[in-house]
């Protein structure tokens, strides 16, 4: 797959071994720091030093994410909106991109922070129960475009092939109009990568701890793509 380095986002939670970080971070362009996962097992006072440490290890574009508990799945870490906004403001000086949920109450204010500090923004939507119909997903993408998001992310659970087809239709229709990330949750590796073929901006992998259902590891994705390349 062409430009693999720019199509993979490694998700970090703060529990990764330093040796693995040094071995892998230079292999991708993007990292996502799941601040909510970090705060679940680490003290808040250690947050900025963690981000600085990651920046020292690799030359990556860093996405800062403090996931809203309503869109975080079962293993969520609850923080009130006021606290989330405070932390977003705190980390905004140390990251390149911020991810906030398009349906959250603090979306407007986080967008304002990004604009004032010249940071890019991902407006995201997650549904861990189902894949809504195409019309609802279109509205989400159009809303993200109206907000002038740099990237719109749609991640939904797929229960049927129809759900997968809906996500591929969305990707095909809108990926040329806006930087669109589409993630079929609960799917296998092939289904996870399929949106990239239809124009999805990138996809997410973990190093040692899944943060979404059936999320593959960086090593699984690398082996899978290597196998496909060898078949050509």
**Which pLDDT value is given to residue 1?**
46
Domain that holds residue 128: 4-231
C-alpha distances in Å from residue 106, one per residue of 53, 162, 230: 28, 33, 46
**Which pLDDT value is given to residue 187?**
82
Whether 110 and 140 have beta carbons less than 8 Å apart is answered as no
Check pLDDT > 90 for residue 67.
yes
- Percent of the chain whose pLDDT exceeds 90: 82
Check pLDDT > 60 for residue 230.
no
- The tens digit of pLDDT for each residue in 177-210 reads 999 999 999 988 889 999 999 999 999 999 988 8
What total number of domains does the chain contain? 1
CATH code of the domain in which 159 resides:
3.20.20.70
pTM: 0.94
- The tens digit of pLDDT for each residue in 92-151 reads 999 999 999 999 999 999 999 999 999 999 999 999 999 999 999 999 999 999 999 999
């Amino acid at each position: 797959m062409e430009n693999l380095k720019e199509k993979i986002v490694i998700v970090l939670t703060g529990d990764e071994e330093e040796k693995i970080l040094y071995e892998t971070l230079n292999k991708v362009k993007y990292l996502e720091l799941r601040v909510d996962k970090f705060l679940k097992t680490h003290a808040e006072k250690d947050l900025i030093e963690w981000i600085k440490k990651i920046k020292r290890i690799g030359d990556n574009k860093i996405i800062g994410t403090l996931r809203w508990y309503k869109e975080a799945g079962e293993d969520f870490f609850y923080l009130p909106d006021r606290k989330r906004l405070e932390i977003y403001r705190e980390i905004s000086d140390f990251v390149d991109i911020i991810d906030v949920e398009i349906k959250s109450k603090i979306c407007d204010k986080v967008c304002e922070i990004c604009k004032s500090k010249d940071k890019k923004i991902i407006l995201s939507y997650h549904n861990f129960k189902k894949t809504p119909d195409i019309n609802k997903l279109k509205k989400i993408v159009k809303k993200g475009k109206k907000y002038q998001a740099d990237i719109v992310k749609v991640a939904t659970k797929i229960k049927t092939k129809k759900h997968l087809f809906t996500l591929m239709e969305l990707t095909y229709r809108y990926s040329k109009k806006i930087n669109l990330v589409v993630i079929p949750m609960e799917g296998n590796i092939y289904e996870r990568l399929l949106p990239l073929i239809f124009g999805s901006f990138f996809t997410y992998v973990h190093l040692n701890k899944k943060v979404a259902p059936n999320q593959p590891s960086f090593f699984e994705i690398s082996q899978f793509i290597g196998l496909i390349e060898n078949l050509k």
